[in-house]
Amino acid sequence: QVQLQESGPGLVKPSQTLSLTCTVSGGSITSGRYYWSWIRQPAGKGLEWVGRIYLSGSTHYNPSLKSRVTMSVDTSKNQFSLWLTSVTAADTAVYYCARDGTDLLTELAFHIWGQGTLVTVSS
């Protein structure tokens, strides 16, 4: 079965760039025509959708973060990545990667999640 695993630095300095990678195992990232999303959760707070990417590289970002977010996909490595620039303490959160729905508007939910990785923004 498909599993997701986030990786990246757990500590980022203010004004720098947060960089995370999600590795897909147990299946190919190219099968099923799925979007792949990033979702974050500050400690003790709710979930916030950050953005998603399709196999072609097409992206959709949360408008509140759009100016600072970039995503990419590397099908040869079965990975997709997130970059968030100019981070502040408000970006401190657990970041999850998740399998989104398909481009045919089927399976529209986050069926599979990574375990999450805590990123702290602090000097």
Partner 1 sequence: QSALTQPASVSGSPGQSITISCTGTSSDVGGHDYVSWYQQHPDKAPKLMIYDVVNRPSGVSNRFSGSKSGNTASLTISGLQAEDEAVYYCSSYSSSSTFWVFGGGTRLAVL
| 83 binds partner 1 per the rule CB under 8 A | no
| 117 binds partner 1 per the rule CB under 8 A | no
Say which residue the tokens 């998603």 belong to.
52
- Distances from the Cα of 9 to the Cα of 18, 19, 21, 63, 123, angstroms: 8, 7, 10, 25, 14
| 113 binds partner 1 per the rule CB under 8 A | yes
Say which residue the tokens 């069926």 belong to.
111
| 111 binds partner 1 per the rule CB under 8 A | yes
Site size for partner 1 (CB under 8 A): 22
Tell me which stretch binds partner 1 (CB under 8 A): 11-19, 23-31, 78-86, 103-111.
Answer: 103-111
| 116 binds partner 1 per the rule CB under 8 A | yes
Q: Which helix (H) or strand (E) holds 18?
A: strand 18-25
Strands 48-53 and 59-61, how do they pair? antiparallel
Q: Kindly list the residues in this chain that would bind partner 1 in the complex (CB under 8 A).
A: 37, 46-49, 52, 60, 62-63, 96, 100-101, 105, 107-111, 113-116
